[in-house]
C-alpha cells in the first residue's frame, strides 16, 4: 500500500453535503505510510464543527479497510470560514439542460490542432447521429482565440430570448462561441475572476435544446479558464490532443493531470500531424513518432486515432467545412469518423 493508492481510495470520500470528493477539493495536504501505519494530513476551512469530524470518520473508515493498513491517523487543521473554502470557490458542476453528454477536447498547449479536432469530431458525430434523428452541439470556449466560427463556417450574433442565447447552426450542428460575443479585432485580456464569471454565464445562459452530445473546445493549457470550465460543467469525458514528437508527451500529460484532478474521465488520446503522405504515396513522419501512443500509455488510456498532416484539413478549416463533413472518405475523414465512433462507444 503506497500514498498513491491511499489518495486514490480517498476519492471515494465526499465533502459533507457535496457530491464532490475531498481529493478534488484539494483538502489533502500529505499522506505518509510506514509499516502499515497511514498518517493523513487534511486542511479544511469551515466554522461547522461537524464537518471535520465527519471527514475524519469517513477517511478512517475508508483507509482502514485497505489491504496492508493496520493503523490510520488523521490530522485535520481547521481554519474558520463562513463557507467551506473549497466549496465556495469551486462550484458544483452543472448539467446542461436537455443535453445527454458533454465532452471536452483539451490540449496541454496551443497550436496542436485542438480546434481542428473539435470541429471535425463534432462534424463526424453529427453525421453518425443524424441517422437516428439525434443532434450535436459545438461549444467554443477558447476565449483567447475563438476559431470555431471560422472553422465551422458560422457567422453572426446569436439570438437573445429573454436571458438566454440561442446558438447559431451550420452543417446540422448547433454552435456557440465566445467569438460571436466579442469584437473580431478587440484584444481579449482576461483575468482570473473575470474568466470564471464569463464562463459560468456562458454555460448557464445558452439554450441548446435537445442534444445527444456537445463537444467543447477548451482553451489551450491548464490555467484558470480551463479549470473553471471543467468545474462548472458536468463532463462525460475529455479527449486529449497531442502531436507525435516524444517531447510533446509531458505537455499533454500536464493537461491530463488537470482533468484527473477534477475527476473528468479521459476518453482517449488523439494524435495530430502524425505523418505526411507525399504524392508518391510514401508516409513521412515529419514531427517524429510515438508521442500519442506514449501519452496514452502513461495515462493508461487508448490512442483513439492518428490524423495526418494534410493541407485539405487546413483548407477545410479555412473554408468553414471540416474534412469530416466535406470529405468523409478521405484518410483524415475516415479517421475522424473512427474516433467519433470510439467516443460514442465509450459513452454508451
Which residues contact ligand ADP by CB under 6 A?
Answer: 107, 110-116, 147, 220, 272-273, 307, 309-311, 313-314, 317
CB of 279 to ligand ADP, least distance (A): 16
CB of 315 to ligand ADP, least distance (A): 8
Give the nearer residue to ligand ADP in terms of CB position, either 119 or 196: 119
Q: What span, in angstroms and rounded, lies between the C-alpha atoms of 74 and 39?
A: 6
Give the nearer residue to ligand ADP in terms of CB position, either 266 or 307: 307
CB of 309 to ligand ADP, least distance (A): 4
CB of 338 to ligand ADP, least distance (A): 15
Give the nearer residue to ligand ADP in terms of CB position, either 18 or 144: 144
Give the nearer residue to ligand ADP in terms of CB position, either 63 or 248: 248
CB of 77 to ligand ADP, least distance (A): 41
Give the nearer residue to ligand ADP in terms of CB position, either 52 or 221: 221
Integer Rg of the chain from CA: 22
CB–CB of 76/23 below 8 Å? no
Q: Which three cell numbers stand for residue 237?
A: 469525458
Give the nearer residue to ligand ADP in terms of CB position, either 228 or 272: 272
CB of 222 to ligand ADP, least distance (A): 14
Terminal alpha carbon distance of the chain: 33
Half-sphere exposure of 41 (CA within 13 A, CB side): 5
CB of 114 to ligand ADP, least distance (A): 3
CB of 293 to ligand ADP, least distance (A): 17
Give the nearer residue to ligand ADP in terms of CB position, either 110 or 328: 110
Give the nearer residue to ligand ADP in terms of CB position, either 116 or 232: 116
For residue 301, give Cα distances in angstroms to 152, 243, 348.
29, 16, 17
Amino acid at each position: 500500500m503506497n500514498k498513491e493508492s491511499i489518495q486514490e481510495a480517498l476519492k471515494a470520500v465526499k465533502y459533507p453535503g457535496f457530491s464532490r470528493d475531498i481529493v478534488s477539493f484539494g483538502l489533502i495536504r500529505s499522506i505518509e505510510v510506514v509499516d502499515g501505519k497511514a498518517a493523513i494530513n487534511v486542511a479544511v476551512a469551515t466554522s461547522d464543527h461537524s464537518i471535520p469530524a465527519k471527514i475524519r470518520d469517513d477517511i478512517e473508515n475508508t483507509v482502514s479497510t485497505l489491504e496492508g493498513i493496520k493503523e490510520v491517523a488523521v490530522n485535520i487543521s481547521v481554519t474558520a470560514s463562513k463557507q467551506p473554502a473549497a466549496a465556495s470557490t469551486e462550484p458544483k458542476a452543472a448539467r446542461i439542460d436537455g443535453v445527454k453528454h458533454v465532452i471536452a477536447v483539451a490540449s496541454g498547449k496551443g497550436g496542436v490542432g485542438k480546434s481542428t479536432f473539435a470541429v471535425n469530431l463534432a462534424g463526424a458525430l453529427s453525421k453518425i447521429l443524424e441517422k437516428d434523428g439525434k443532434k450535436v452541439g459545438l461549444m467554443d470556449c477558447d476565449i483567447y482565440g475563438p476559431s470555431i466560427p471560422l472553422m465551422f463556417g458560422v457567422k453572426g450574433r446569436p439570438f437573445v430570448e429573454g436571458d438566454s442565447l440561442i446558438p447559431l447552426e451550420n452543417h446540422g450542428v448547433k454552435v456557440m462561441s465566445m467569438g460571436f460575443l466579442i469584437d473580431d479585432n478587440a484584444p481579449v485580456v482576461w483575468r482570473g475572476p473575470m474568466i470564471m464569471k464569463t464562463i459560468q454565464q456562458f454555460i448557464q445562459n445558452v439554450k441548446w435544446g435537445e442534444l445527444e452530445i456537445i463537444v467543447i473546445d477548451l482553451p489551450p493549457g491548464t490555467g484558470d479558464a480551463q479549470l473553471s470550465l471543467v468545474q462548472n460543467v458536468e463532463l462525460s469525458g475529455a479527449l486529449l490532443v497531442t502531436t507525435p514528437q516524444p517531447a510533446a508527451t509531458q505537455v499533454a500529460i500536464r493537461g491530463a493531470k488537470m482533468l484527473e484532478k477534477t475527476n473528468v474521465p479521459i476518453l482517449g488520446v488523439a494524435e495530430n500531424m502524425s505523418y505526411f503522405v507525399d504524392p508518391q504515396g510514401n508516409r513521412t513522419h515529419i514531427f517524429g513518432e510515438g508521442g500519442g501512443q506514449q501519452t496514452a500509455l502513461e495515462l493508461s488510456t487508448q490512442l483513439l486515432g492518428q490524423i495526418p498532416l494534410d493541407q485539405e484539413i487546413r483548407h477545410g478549416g479555412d473554408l468553414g467545412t471540416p474534412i469530416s463533413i466535406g470529405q468523409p472518405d478521405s484518410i483524415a475523414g475516415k479517421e475522424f469518423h473512427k474516433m467519433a465512433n470510439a467516443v460514442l462507444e465509450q459513452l454508451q
